[in-house]
């Protein structure tokens, strides 16, 4: 299986469009880097308000490419607008290109 097809399957699984079992063997990029259940109520509400998702539907607009993102680990980063970890490949409606 070529990398492009594999990445597509991994992205689909991460978005819930394909069986989660397909995430096994996927690059960490596609796997949420934190436990969403560990977030506080206020943080969950803020993420919902900003429509935060762990996997962006647009490869050109991910947390990694956002001006509010800074790397906090190999796959997990921090966001200046949110309190808690965000996934490198995530996205929210406050996305702004990194300059």
- 10 lies in the binding site for ligand SF4 (CB under 6 A): no
Min dist. Cβ of residue 7 to ligand SF4 (A): 20
Among 46, 68, 72, 84, binds ligand SF4 (CB under 6 A): 68
Among 66, 75, 85, 88, binds ligand SF4 (CB under 6 A): 66
Please give, one letter per residue, the 3-state secondary structure of the chain.
Answer: CCHHHHHHHHHHHHCCCCCHHHHCCCCHHHCCCCCHHHCCHHHHHHHHHCCCECCCCCCCCCHHHECCEEECCCCEEEECCCCCEEECCCECCCCCECC
In the complex, which residues of this chain contact ligand SF4 (CB under 6 A)?
52, 63, 66, 68-69, 79, 81-82, 86, 90-92, 94-95
């Amino acid at each position: 299986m070529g990398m492009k097809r594999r990445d597509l399957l991994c992205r689909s699984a991460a978005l819930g469009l394909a069986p989660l079992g397909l995430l096994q063997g996927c690059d960490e990029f596609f796997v949420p880097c934190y436990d969403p259940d560990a977030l506080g109520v206020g943080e969950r509400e803020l993420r919902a308000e900003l429509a935060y998702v762990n996997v962006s539907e647009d490869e050109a607009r991910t947390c990694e490419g956002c001006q509010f993102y800074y790397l906090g680990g190999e796959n997990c980063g921090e966001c200046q607008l949110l309190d808690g970890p965000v996934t490198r490949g995530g996205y929210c409606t406050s996305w702004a290109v990194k300059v």
